[in-house]
Structure formats: C-alpha cells, structure tokens
Structure 1
C-alpha cells in the first residue's frame, strides 16, 4: 500500500499536538517543517523518540532554501549550513532533505554552473547517507518548472540527487504534468500534494495562503497522481498545505480530513488506472434513486409556522409518529417530516443552531449497508455514520437506514427497500385520504448554511463519500454583505433526478439565534421543489394562501435589458413574483416563500432544457425581498 505523510506546516498547534493528531489520523510519517522544529522545545533525539513511539517515520526535512548563488563565497557558506542540517537529520533519523530552487536575484542562471553546485551538495550528502530532493518553486528565478528541475538533476546524474514533485508548483503554472512519466520513478525522491481553488492572483500568495487538501479545490490531482504512479514512484504521498484557516482550526479534525483526502485521491487515481497495485480502493458507491423525504427540525416554537408554510405550497398533514413529536406532511410522492421535538440537542446537533433547520435528507438506495462500509473505509468517524440515540423514523432504529452526517445540523439518510414499510408502520395515518393538488414533482436542490471553518471538511466529505461533483462557485454580494455559494451534484440512476446540494458560507453563520447575520440576512438555508409549469403552480398557490416576498419592479425592468422575454411571460413573472435566469443550455424560473424563523425558506423552480445553475445570481434580489418583508 502507498505510504502517507503530511508536512507539519499543514496543521495548527504545537509540534507535539501535531504529531499526536498525525498519528491518530492514520498517517505513516511526516515532513518536519523547519520553523516548527526550531520553535519546539523538543531536542532532535526527543523528537525522534516521540515519532517512534507514535509509529511515525520522519520522511523529509524541509525546506533548505537558496543553495545556489552567483557569489561563490556565499555558496561555500551555504554548504556549511547544509552540513549542520545533515548533523541534525542524523539525530532525527531522517535521510531526505528538500532543496528549493532559488527565487533570489543572486540565483545561478546558467544550467551548467547550477548543476555543478548541486553536484557539490550531493557529494556531501552522499557521504552522510542523505538524499537531496530538488524542487522547482513556481516563482523560482531560474528554475521554476518541474521539467527544468528534472533536466538539471539528470545532468548531475548523482545517486544522492533526485527531484521532488509538488503538485501546486506544477499545476498552478498550468504546466502539463504528462511529462512526469518521462522521469524514472527511482529519481523522484519525494512527492508533495496540494489542491487549490482557481484564483487570479500572485502565485506566491496563492501558494502561501490558499492551498487545500485533495478534493477541496479545482486541480486535476487524479491525472497528476496517475502520472506519478505510472513512473513506479515508491515513496510516500505527502501533503504540504499552506492555509490560514487550517492553521487556526482543530488539529485533530484537520489531520483526519487530510488523511481522508489522500484515500479519496487514491480512489480517483485507481479509477484512471484499473488494476494498478498499491492504491487504496474503498467500497464502490451504490446507486441512489433520488430524494424521498426531508426532515425539518422546527422545535415547538416554530412548528406551527412551518405547518402553515407547508400548507401554503400544497402539502397536507398525513399522520403523526406513534411515539415521537414527528408529523408527516405529503404532497404527491414528496414527504416532509415536521419535527417539533423540544430537545434541540437532538433535533439540531449543532448547539445553538437557529431553528428551523433541515436536519435530514432521505435518499432511496438499494444497499444502505454498502454506503456505511464506504463511509467507514473513508474514515468518517463511526459516531457520524450512525447517530447514537437518535429518534428513528420507525420503531426499529436499524430499519434499513444508514445516516451519514454532512454538517453539524444535517445528515443524509440512505434508505433501503425495507424502510418504506417501516415508515408506514411508524405513523398513525389520517382517517381520510388526502386530497391535494399535484403541483410539485420532486426536490431540485437543498441549500445548507455552513460556517467558514467547516467549509472545506464538508466539501471533502461530499466529494469523497458521495462522489458529488462541484460546479463553479460564486461570490454573491447582497444587502447585508457577501455570500459564498458552491453547488455540488450527485447523479442518480434511471429516471431519478440528481441530488444537488448548495453550500452557503456566511461569516459567523450559524452561530446561534442571537447572531445578527442569521437575523438580518433573511434566509440562507432552503429546499427547492420542482414543478412542471411555474405559472400554473404560482396561480394555484395563491388559492392555497401562499404569501411571497414582493420582488422589486427594478428587477423586472432590468430583465428586459438582459433577456429577450415574451411580454406576456414577463407580465406573469411580475404578477407572481417569479425570478428568471438562463444559460447556454436552458432556462430557470423560481419563486420563493417567506422565511420560517430567521433562516429557512422554500423555493419552487422549473428547469427548461439543460440549465446547469440554481439561479445564484438572483440571490441578492431574493435577500432584499426577504428583508423588506421583515423575514
């Protein structure tokens, strides 16, 4: 199996805390980042002993900067500095040092001279049993591509000198990593991996502040990893992540996410290289068949308002749980469970989360147990796979349902075939069958509020466990600030509609019912239902007592300038408060309810053609309308 490693710079805390978290997360070793060692009270011998006690190897000492110099006297001093590092590495029991290409004005700009200086270092390292991994910094003054670094290493042709491949330095420049396959695997002395979001900024600042774990950014690390694996490289796959948020977050949680990201990446590489040895492959994702139920934790204070809102969009009361404060509301095949439980520690696991909140998303699956096995293989903690003590939807807590936590407040329930009967048995049915309009046809997407420090971990969980694919994220300025929104999609089977989840990051949200952002924004979380005819649906909702926030007339005046809409359709949109968007693939119509409490609202949408978005650009208009309505 592939060995896993992580640079200590990737985590918060003291060096001792970092090592404990690295071992607990399942890593085989670590890179010691020199500033972490220098700031530690541990002696080299104590650090080596601590690593051994934890079962960790010290895989790399880094970084050694600015070796080469056009000033020969400075180069000589640099060699003396290197010898001191070799002394330290011998005490640590570490045999590989990372040497970066120089970004200084004094960097050597002649390949032959640079090769000679690297040869001099390699000779000294070889005498000490140490290997030198030469890395091209993306901002290096002379050597700034992996091909150039490899050409220098090949020219030196010394057993103690190899190259280090860093995915960030390669992919941030837009370099084609296919050339990695031309490098012999035994000459790749080390591999460092980092993902990153697409950003238009100075590459040095991008590197120092915005790196992420694999599966949290936009780099094609699966292709990159496949190229490396094809060379026969046998060293550790290591993470070197410079990220301001990670350096302030929980050390243990970040380390666990880091190790999960490497497992996720290996699975992606294995998909591209079937039959390749050594790669981690978790149980496959079973098929899903769409969203079948939603559970909303309203608590006793918001339950009445939620019932009224559901009734105004065509849902009817269908029964009460035989044992718990849980009501069933139906609209055709759509099911919403209204949870009026007073124990909000259960209904909303995140302490202080404003109610109501979408607490469960039910998805039909032929094999929930396989989902459980997959989640555990990808190191989702067991207590987040099955919630101990949670009230079941049925009399049997294990009735063919596996619950996977997504956010602190929301889980995804994978429901097997037997859960349908268990659900029916759990509720006292209405004496008279429901007579409801058939307006809504399914669930288009759900949107969840996410705290900034939870964002990357949730993104990784959705992508690794559920295989959700991210769409392009958007930053939305609105009446109270700026909202970061990222949608992800998981495709179902057959005729099932895809599962779409939008993550909405609001600074400080959710931070409790007293938090001003939660109150002033006028809704962050929502459920969007689909319909076949938005105008017929809107007209019917009026008869049901639906109350909508008033959309500004300025919005519709602007639509005329942006889209070639039929005047009759535009008039109907004004009449019913319907918003509109279009892209190259199709059109999107949407209307909203008022909010229930500070945060939750419902949306009804119609997709025409192959529209890919979720009307994100209309969010600012929606927020303003909710604020004017006092939501």
Structure 2
C-alpha cells in the first residue's frame, strides 16, 4: 500500500514537513497550497528536494469554488486553473484536488456541473494533470460522495475522477456502501481521517478534531477493505486537521501518522482474509504486521529515584520484601510481594531533588521476539539496555510519554527468569501474600500526545480503549480513558491533566502517575501499613458523611472505613475499597480490593484524591 500524508497535518515549514515525512517512511505527500505559498523555495527546488528525499508529490490541494458556479463566472475559474496547472507542472504534482463549492455555488444541476468539470478536465489534460473532485461534507449543494461520483461519471472525461475522504463521508452519518463497486479508473485519490464522535457543527469538528486512524471512532477498516475490493490503485493518504498535531514535534507526528496507517493496513488485511479474500491482491496490496502479543501478565513495574531510602521504605510499609540486588547492575534492586515485582533503579547521576518516577512497565508475552518485531514495524523507538551474555533478554521500546515498555518471557509458575539475576528464590517470590497482583497502572499524558498514546497502546499491546470520563479537580477537569486487554489482565488508565498544570501554574505535581495493587484483604493491608508508619493520603470527614447518604452503609462499616482511611464505591456488580499513599516525587501507590465483579476504578472518589493531593502540594510549596 502506497502511503501519503498531507502537509497540513504537520507543524513547521514545508521543507521540515517534507523531511519528517520522508524520515518517518511515507512514500509521498499532498502539498497544501498555503505551505507552498509561504515557502521561500521555488516549485522547482521543492521538486528537486522531494526527489532527493525519495518522496512523490502526489497531489496539490485545495482548489476551491471552481465549479458549480454561474456560467458568467466560470471563465475566471478556468483562468485560475491554468495558473495552478502552470505551477503544478513546475512542482511535478500530477493531481489537483477540486472541492465541491461551499460559498459561491449557483448551480444545483448535475449535468451543468458535469459540463464545467468536463471543461476543467480538458484544460487539465493539456498539462497531463488529473482533477480529483471531492464532496465536502458542508458543500452548499454537493455534499455527499455518491452525488459527486455521479457528476464525475456524467463529465465522462479521462482527466476527471473522484477523491474519497473518509471524514467527509462518515461525519455526515453516511456509509461507504458501494465503494467496492466503483470503477477504480475513476477513483483518483483517497484521504483518510479518523475522529471522535462529537455533537457539533461538521466544519468545526473537521477543522479541529480529526485524528489519525485508530485514534477515533470511525470504522476505517471497512473503508479500506472496500477500496481493496474495488481495486483502487492510488495512494492512501492522511489529511488531518488537528490543533495539537500542528503544535507538536513534526517528526513524531509523522511517525504517529505512519504507525496509524500500518496498524490500519494490518487490521484490514485480517478482515479481508476473514472474508475469504486475498489481502495481497494487487493493486492495493495490504501488508500484515507480525501478530500482536497481548500481555499475559504483568512482569514488573520499575521506579527510578535519587531518594532510594524513601522509595524502599514505602515498599516495606506496603509489605514488600527485598528480593536482592542485581548481580551486574549495582544500582538496581528488586522488591517482591506475591506475584508483584517492583524494580528500583537508583539514579546516582540525578540531582537530589530529582523526584521518584515511574520509569518502565514490563509485560510477559508469548513471544518477546515477535513483540519486538511488531514494535519495530510500528516505528517504536528501541530502549538501549546493557546486559551480560548469561542474562535474560528483555526487548524494550519507548511509549509516547517516554515510559519504557518491556517484553519478557514466561517463567515457571509465572516467575520470570530475570528475577534469578537478583539472587531471588522463585519459590519465595511466588508465595501467598495479601497483595495479589497489579490491578492497574495509571499514566499521565501530555494533552498534545494523548491520541498518540491511545494508538500506541492499541497497536502495540492490543489494548482496547474504553469510553473516556472526566473528573473534577481543583485545577480543572481531568480526562481519563482506560486501556484494557481483552481478558482484563492489564488495565492502563490514561489521564490528561488540565492545561494550566502543563503551563507550570500548578507544576503538574497533583497529577502524578500511580501503581494500583490488588489485594485480598484491604483492612489487613492498611493495618500492616499503618503499623509500619505509612503516610496515607488524608480523607476528609465530609467524605464519610456523604457515604452514608449515598450508600446507606451501616455505621460500623463506615467507622471501619474511616479508621483505616479507606474509600468506597459500588455498582450493580460489586464493591470497590481502596486507599492511597502520599505522593513520593511523581508517583504514589493505590491499594484496591474488588468484591464481586466490580470493574470500575472508583471514579466518584477521584475528586477526593485530587483535592487532597492539591492541598498537600500547596502545603509543601508554602513551606518551601
């Protein structure tokens, strides 16, 4: 499948966009007119640059309000077209995107519009250029792809064809039923964009909220599968209007875009194969990625710190025991409790004020090698890791938020072979304990990379996004979306803090990441932790008064919750009890007990935590 990306998707200058697209691995680009107009490079220079980069210049766009105009105005459309064709000849772009009219449309007659398209096609043919006619979702008269294609067929000119854009189709609630029946010779170009389902006017939705495939709610597998069936032979291009993308690093956005196309191509190949068709059928050959390796179990959680004593004391208070120091890495140690393994890396080079942070997540998968190969095809940066010849190979990649993701093998009774490198006794590591596993790990995301993180976890780990929620905190709303494995072994909520925190007004300190540990008896864990001196996150008395009103709990049950600093939630499936530790640097720990089949995360209690963390941060800042 030939991949392309519109320069409007990316930040920076046209020259920077071209370099980023080429470096990411795209075959070609669509040149957005404004990018060319503001560039100091001549069309000839840009054509030469594209050749040196190995990029094809697939399309020039857009040409607006050129057809569907009053007959007396149309000659001026032809004049403008000739000027664009002169430019495109110098640039070397073979296709011009002609949008349906949104402002000056005077014709609402298909044959009259087709006649104007035919005349435009005659002029285009003189330059060996093709016109791709696209129905904009907000077109004044022509706003659906079927009508646009009928007009193209009426024009009946070899230089006039259709451009299909998934956003303009699906945003109107339309379908792509019938695309598989199109004559591929009349389908000149395809643009893909995903989007979250929003209730707002389509133009605003289009201009600000498009995302890459896999980051929204549209069924783009169906779109690509029908294109494959019809025999479409051209590029599959991304056209994304998104405020965050145009402010983000140009290269990482380009990588995110190509990752989305490779993931979509792989998903579509599976769907086509399941339907009894051959995904390798030309001309739209759909390539497979290595099979996903969904996590079978949590392998480890790694913290890095310059305050080793504080960090290990917290683990001791929660019942963890030192499994040992790594035999070849002096600054690395492992702590275990039941099936949970926490690796501590002491950062001796960091300043003393360097906060403790969540550095890495390890997962046990069926084939670590296949997981690493899939990650490579999805353009995930590799984590450099030193190891001795007799040590376990752990393949690692960087997530968009710089969290390291490692893939490890299964060990006997679920105990990984790398734990022996710490001198640990596997039998002891797997013994019964109050802590029964990692319930979930909550990762904080910069707002501009949130969609990228969703796609990364979807495409790499085969996690599935759940509906997003918003909870109120002292600095604004915090958006949270849970990513789950199919068997719910792995749950990773992604949180996006309010923009003010990103800008330093709140330093982000109240939005740390956290590890949630599952337990069999939360009261027993809390009692043990309190005896060992654990500092719990304070819960206000008003919270417990409200619990009585919300759930009509027995007085002794509320008293027990209050005594141990526990929070409570329940739904029709079961109950959820949990407590939080104080924040250590950029991370804290939550301990949870699920009773029955409760599947949530105590979302009604999140504002209590956010407010308590905010108060603690204010007190600390005031003391300084």
TM-score by length of 2: 0.89
Q: Name the counterpart of 1:304.
A: 309
Residue 285 (structure 1) shift: 1.7
1:414 aligns with 2:407: yes
Partners of 1:263 and 1:378 within 8 A in 2: yes
Counterpart secondary structure, 2:101? coil
Distance (whole Å) between structure 2 residues aligned to residue 377 and residue 448 of structure 1: 24
Map 1:6-405; keep pairs closer than 5 Å.
Answer: 6-104=5-103, 106-274=105-273, 275-277=278-280, 278-299=285-306, 302-322=307-327, 323-344=329-350, 355-380=355-380, 384-387=381-384, 390=385, 395-396=388-389, 399-405=392-398
Distance 2:66 2:458 in 1: 40
Cα distance in 2 for partners of 1:82, 1:584 equals 64
- Aligned residue among 569, 578, 584 for 1:590: 578
Query: Structure 2 vs 1, CA of residues 569 and 157 (structure 1 numbering), >3 Å: closer, same or farther?
Result: farther
Report the CA distance shift for 1:543/1:110 in structure 2 as closer, same or farther (over 3 A): same
Provide the rounded CA distance (Å) in 2 between the counterparts of 1:130 and 1:448.
49
Q: Which residue of 1 aligns with 2:516?
A: 528
* CA 1:130–1:520: 2 relative to 1, 3 Å: closer
Give the CA deviation at 1:28: 1.3
Gaps of 5+ in 2: none
Q: How many residue pairs align between the two structures?
A: 606
Instruction: Output one character per residue of 1:236-279: Cα deviation in whole Å (capped at 9) or x when no partner.
Output: 00011112222222222221221121111101111211131111
| CA pair 584-222 structure 1, distance change in 2 beyond 3 A | farther
Residue 100 of structure 1, CA deviation: 0.7
For 1:209 and 1:353, the matched residues in 2 are separated by 39
In structure 1, the gaps of 5 or more residues are 346-351
Q: C-alpha displacement at 1:418, in angstroms? A: 6.8
TM-score when normalising by structure 1: 0.88
Q: Is the Cα contact below 8 Å between 1:581 and 1:587 reproduced in 2?
A: yes
Aligned residue for 1:258, secondary structure, equals helix
Alignment partners' CA distance in 1, 2:199 and 2:245: 21
Change (3 A) 1:69 1:508: closer
Q: Which residue pairs with 2:506 in the alignment?
A: 517
Contact preservation (8 Å) 1:551, 1:577: yes
Equivalent runs, 1:537-556 vs 2, <5 Å? 537-556=525-544
Q: Deviations over 1:176-228 (max 9, x none)?
A: 22232232222221100112223332221221122221122222222222222
Matched residue SS, 1:61: strand
Asked if 1 retains the 8 angstrom alpha-carbon contact of 2:8 and 2:32, the reply is yes
Equivalent in 451, 470, 483 of residue 475 of structure 1 = 470
The alpha carbon displacement at 1:499 in A equals 1.4
SS in 2 for 1:476: strand
Q: Which residue of 2 aligns with 1:348?
A: none
Deviation at 1:386, TM superposition (A): 3.4
Give yes or no for the alignment of 1:426 onto 2:433.
no
Name the stretch that deviates more: 68-77 or 229-238.
68-77
| Alignment partners' CA distance in 2, 1:585 and 1:224 | 38
Using a 3 Å threshold, how does the CA distance of structure 1 residues 452 and 544 change in structure 2: closer, same or farther? same
Q: CA–CA distance in 2 between the matches of 1:136 and 1:217?
A: 22
- Equivalent in 563, 577, 588 of residue 601 of structure 1: 588
Partner residue, 1:503: 494
1:33-80: CA deviations, max 9, x gaps? 111111112222222222222222111111010123453222221122
| Aligned 8 A contact 2:391 2:418 in 1 | no
Partners in 1 of 2:176 and 2:125 — Cα distance? 29
Report the Cα offset of residue 461 of structure 1: 1.9
Q: Distance in 2 between matches of 1:575 and 1:173?
A: 55
Distance 1:602-1:421 versus aligned 2 partners, 3 A rule:
closer
Question: Could you give the per-residue CA deviations for residues 452-491 of structure 1, whole angstroms, max 9, x where no partner exists?
Answer: 3333333332222222211122233201233232221224
Deviations along 1:550-587, one digit per CA (max 9) or x if unpaired, are: 22333344445554656654444334333334456554
The superposition leaves residues 438-459 of structure 1 with CA deviations (integer Å, 9 ceiling, x where unpaired) of 2111111111222233333333
The answer on 1:449 being equivalent to 2:447 is: no
